[in-house]
Amino acid sequence: MIQVMLVLHVLVGAALLGALTHQSFSVARKPSAPARSFVDRFRGVNSPTFTNVIVWLFAVNVLVGGLLYPRYRVDVRPTLEDLQLRAANGIFEMKEHFAAVALGLLPAYWLAWRPPLSVDRADTRKYLTWILAFTAWWSFVVGELLNNIKGMFP
Amino acid sequence: MIASARFNVFSIVYGVAYMGLFFWNELYHTALFRYYPVLSTFSREDRSLENAGPAILWYSWLFGAAVISAVVTVVVPRSVAERLGQAWIWAVPVALFVVIFVYERRWFY
């Protein structure tokens, strides 16, 4: 069951990364000409349509992460301590704090992206999207590092 | 739109409350409750590692922050929620992320 949840956690995280990265690029700068380059096409998505999916994926992934956490606390963290990998513990501590703060931002994020998109909320949309994207990337990379840490530090 | 302006209040207060509860625990070693995964039980007691295994406090910070922010969201007058500057909504979490980076760098020394 743990293995199934871990795979689910990774898959939902990957989907979240894709959606948030698209949206983050799209709010960075408005395209002034027809999209030609890969980056322009990557950025040229219909951003508001991602919002509800991102909220659900984020909430579900925090929930699945929360269900996996006891196993981490009992099995993984003592291993990190035995291996004296303090930095690995530290980046996971940061992950849990970032995820918690970002979880609380979801209502404001959803509101900022609710149509009609007003100009006075443009900065809020942009920065909240970037904060969520940063959190998703940090969490994903840290999760993968810790999952593979025995192979990286034999 | 008027009613949902309270969403912004919830989001701002949630992060502050979460970090507040975390630092409260760091300073006084107390928490609303702890989860002991080895025993599969929640407890308000701070049990010893030998008897109960490691404790998880993260759940209590999340739960406490949700309760505090929900109460504040309901209590704050609607007029105040509507007047809240947009910059607060993203500047507060950015500041919290900086605090997290600064505090947790202790793991890297």
Residue numbers of chain B with a pLDDT score lower than 70: 1-3
Q: Give pTM, 2 decimals.
A: 0.92
Alpha helices (H) along chain A:
2-28, 38-43, 51-71, 77-82, 86-112, 122-147, 149-152
Q: Is the pLDDT of residue A73 over 80?
A: yes
B79 to chain A, any CB pair closer than 8 A? The answer is no
Choose among B8, B13, B97: nearest Cβ to A98: B97
Structure confidence at residue A148 (pLDDT):
80
* Inter-axis angle of helices A86-112 and A51-71, nearest 10: 150
Structure confidence at residue A82 (pLDDT):
87
Whose tokens are 């970037």? That residue is A130
Q: Is the pLDDT of residue A44 over 70?
A: no
Mean per-residue pLDDT over chain A, rounded: 89
What is the tens place of the pLDDT at every residue in A3-20?
A: 899 999 999 999 999 999
| B12 against A40, higher pLDDT | B12
Structural domain including A102 reads 2-152
Q: What DSSP string runs through chain B? A: -TTTHHHHHHHHHHHHHHHHHHHHHHHH---S-EEETTTTEEESS---HHHH---B-HHHHHHHHHHHHHHHHHHS-HHHHHH--HHHHHHHHHHHHHHHHHHHGGGG-
Q: B107 and A105 in contact by Cβ < 8 A? A: no
Q: Domain total for chain A?
A: 1
Choose among A94, A123, A134: nearest Cβ to B86: A123
What is the tens place of the pLDDT at every residue in B6-31?
A: 999 999 999 999 999 999 999 998 89
Q: Is the Cβ–Cβ distance between B68 and B19 less than 8 Å? A: no
Structure confidence at residue B2 (pLDDT):
47
